[in-house]
Amino acid sequence: MEDASILLVEDDADIRGAVRQLLSGENYRIEEAGSGEEGLEKLTPATDLIILDIMLPGISGLKTCEQIRQVSNAPVLFLTAKAQESDRLIGLMAGGDDYLPKPFSYAELLGRIKALLRRYRVYRGKNQIGEPEAEKEEILSDGDLQLNLYFNEVKKGGQDCRLSDYEYQILRMMMQHPDRIFSAKMLFEQIWQEPYRYTCANTIMVHIRKIRKKIEEDPQNPKRITTVWGKGYRFEQTLDR
């Protein structure tokens, strides 16, 4: 089992205790916080995943997530009593990677944590404990946009673009296959590794919108990630930019 570091931000002491016991049994390192402010203080570059309650005293979980995204690309799993599709989209827009409504089963929580950590470690180039470090670097380029295939690192004009884990994976897949049309279903099933439902189209739309804001000169008139109406999205690579 990977010795990952997880930051749990939850104001309910009973939930914190139960989650701590569950994750400690899986050999994860757990750091706890009872508020968003405390969670931000305990966030470090070594944090591999954040479990974040939305309804927190002081600053909300959504605002906390927005501040986390300014300094970290570690996946954020929201825990919340809100279960509407609109609430899920708001969480994704704030920078969250997954969303688990309360009450939840601990088996599902553990499954989602493992999936998020697995994807994060693969796309960040993190190795299992005890594995030799591999110094790998291969860059995909399109004009002033550069994406590292082995680390969650994207630069535009030499400046870092802070993409979440899922944003990076979507952009990586599209840059590897320029001009290919990707449907929402294809993107969701390939990246989330879950069965597609019609509501998942909104999840893809939110992530595409956020990627455009980070890599396009004019996100309202995108030149790189374009919409093929009725079919999906594609990355239009140009060699003359």
Mean per-residue pLDDT of the chain: 85
Per the confidence metrics, is the pTM higher than 0.75? no
Q: Contact at 8 Å (CB) between 149 and 139?
A: yes
Is the pLDDT reported for residue 108 higher than 90? Answer: no
DSSP letters for 146-203:
EEETTTTEEEETTEEE---HHHHHHHHHHHHSTT--B-HHHHHHHHT-S---TTHHHH
Name the residue type at position 34: G
Residue 235 to residue 149: CA distance in whole angstroms: 16
Question: 149-172: per-residue pLDDT in tens?
Answer: 877 789 999 998 988 888 998 999
Q: Contact at 8 Å (CB) between 54 and 91?
A: yes
The verdict on domain 161-235 having CATH code 1.10.10.10 is: yes
Residue 28 to residue 3: CA distance in whole angstroms: 5
**Domain-by-domain residue ranges, the chain?**
5-124, 161-235
CATH class of 5-124: alpha beta
CA torsion 117-120-122-123 (nearest 10°) is 170
Cα atoms in the Cβ-side hemisphere of radius 13 Å centred on 114: 12
Identify the weakest region by mean pLDDT among 88-97, 161-170, 180-189, 225-234.
88-97
